[in-house]
Amino acid sequence: MEEVYTIPLREAFRVSKTKRASSATKTIKEYLTGKLKLSNVRVDPSINEALWVKGVKKPPRRIRIKIIKEEDKVIASLVE
């Protein structure tokens, strides 16, 4: 099963500037575990690269993610 989500990353901008990109990664994982009710969520390295493209201080405000859901695990990748 495949789904596409647009995840707002406004929570990442409420922490200090030097922790925004890592906070955005945590926000994505929390959003997906809450939305899909599964604890085994894997994030593709393309998402991490998209968050860090402008550096640690300026992650994007929102990101579009494609979810591939298998039996008991979820793989999240960037929508192209």
Query: Per-10-residue mean pLDDT for the chain, 80 residues long?
Result: 93 94 94 88 92 95 93 88
- pLDDT of 39 reads 84
- pLDDT of 53 reads 95
- pLDDT of 40 reads 87
- pLDDT of 36 reads 85
For the residues of 4-29, what is the DSSP string, one character each? EEEEE-GGGGGS-GGGHHHHHHHHHH
Q: Is the pTM of this model over 0.85?
A: yes
**All structural domains of the chain:** 2-78 (3.10.440.10)
- pLDDT of 70 reads 84
Q: In terms of C-beta density within 10 A (0-12 exposed, 13-18 middle, 19 or more buried), how is residue 1 classed?
A: exposed
